[in-house]
Amino acid sequence: MRFRLTPQDNSFYDLFSQQSAHLVTGSAVLTRVLGADMAGREELAKEMKEIEHAADESTHEILRKVNSSFITPFDREDIYKLASTLDDCMDHMESAVDCITLYRINQLPDGVASQVEVLVRMSELTADAMPRLRSMKDLAEYWIEINRLENQGDQVYRRLLAELFDGDLKATAILKLKDVVEGLEAAIDAFETVAHTVESIAVKES
């Protein structure tokens, strides 16, 4: 265990918890988008954009605090990376919602709902894990489960792509749906990067 002789700013833990809470809210909106009509999706896209802005502000607050703090709870580069990758998760989810709305996609493949289910679970696990950074305990189950979910998401993603190119859809429809599917896959990958970052921090601090 690393010992420190100078006080450190523990508010970082609260900020990471706040940042991850936005992901839970965002994934809930993403779920609602799937069952909404076109008008409803436009309203939800606006709501998602507001959540994304709030998440951005949380990210910026963490970065401002890093730059103004003499002592941080763990390495500055790890704080930067964790804040950045959490922000990536939200950005990709918001982008997927934006594509669904802008492209005015009426029917989404069934596998998209499976991708969203994975993202909802990942966001919940991530939000649950962030407060445990304070003690660096009981985190292994978190990154193991995130890795399992990412593998599950990969399988869904590959099946979705195969279905898109194996059907009778027009090229423009395929491209639109591919943007959505790839955006959700990017969000899933970003959550795994968060988990890898947490694992790296835990190893360094143990």
Chain-wide mean pLDDT for the chain?
92
> What pTM was estimated for this model as a whole?
0.92
What average pLDDT does the segment 56-75 reach? 89
According to the model, what pLDDT value does residue 5 have? 35
The residues spanned by each domain of the chain are 11-205
Q: How confident is the model at residue 4 (pLDDT cuts 50, 70, 90)?
A: very low
What average pLDDT does the segment 64-93 reach? 92
Q: How confident is the model at residue 3 (pLDDT cuts 50, 70, 90)?
A: very low
Tell me whether residue 186 is exposed, middle or buried, using C-beta atoms within 10 angstroms of its C-beta: 0 to 12, 13 to 18, 19 or more: middle
Per-residue model confidence as pLDDT tens digits over 50-62: 999 999 999 999 9
Indicate if the pLDDT at residue 8 is higher than 70: no
According to the model, what pLDDT value does residue 203 have? 92
Per-residue model confidence as pLDDT tens digits over 101-148: 999 998 899 899 999 999 999 999 999 999 999 989 999 999 999 999
Indicate if the pLDDT at residue 1 is higher than 90: no
Give the Cβ contact number of residue 58 at 10 Å: 22
Determine the length of the chain. 206
Q: How confident is the model at residue 10 (pLDDT cuts 50, 70, 90)?
A: low
Task: Encode burial over 134-152: b for 16+ CB neighbours within 10 A, e otherwise.
Answer: eebeebeebbeebeebbeb
CATH architecture of 11-205: Up-down Bundle (1.20)
Residue where the block lists tokens 């005015």: 104
Share above pLDDT 90 across residues of the chain, in percent, rounded to a whole number:
78
